[in-house]
Amino acid sequence: MRIGELALRAGTSPRALRHYEQEGLLAARRRANGYRDYDEDDLRLVAEIRSLLAIGFTLDEARPFVDCLRSGHDRGVACPDAAAVHRRKIAEIDACVTRLAEIRAGLVGQLAEELGGRVAGAGTP
């Protein structure tokens, strides 16, 4: 399939696909006329990339997942390098959640102090 069809089927733009190719995440074959040519495996790679981007991974972090799929695994997280990136991302999220909880507790405390007691609706989530 050509780049426009892949973009349509993947729910992205040809520009994004060219960017993925430039970053080495996608490798288009070229037809005799110079047009990019893709197949169902490429669609699967783009779906994985978009899924990872949607949940906060960067393109660089997506690379081990794409490599894992290219090596024949059914799931991008099946390989050790991808699983390590996955674990790091979970740790980053945990750290953010902890930091946000600390900030929230501080704000609740300030508001309660200012209003002289417990603040309605400001309890724990």
Identify the DSSP state of 6: H
Per-residue pLDDT of the chain (125 residues; tens, 9 = 90+): 999 999 999 999 999 999 999 999 999 899 999 899 999 999 999 999 999 999 999 999 999 999 999 999 999 999 999 999 999 999 999 999 999 999 999 999 999 888 886 666 555 55
Domains of the chain in start order, with CATH, are 3-115 (1.10.1660.10)
The b-or-e profile of 48-57 (16+ CB within 10 A means b, else e) is bbeebeeeeb
Cβ–Cβ < 8 Å for 26, 1: no
Rg (CA), the chain: 22
Please state the pTM of the whole predicted model. Answer: 0.79
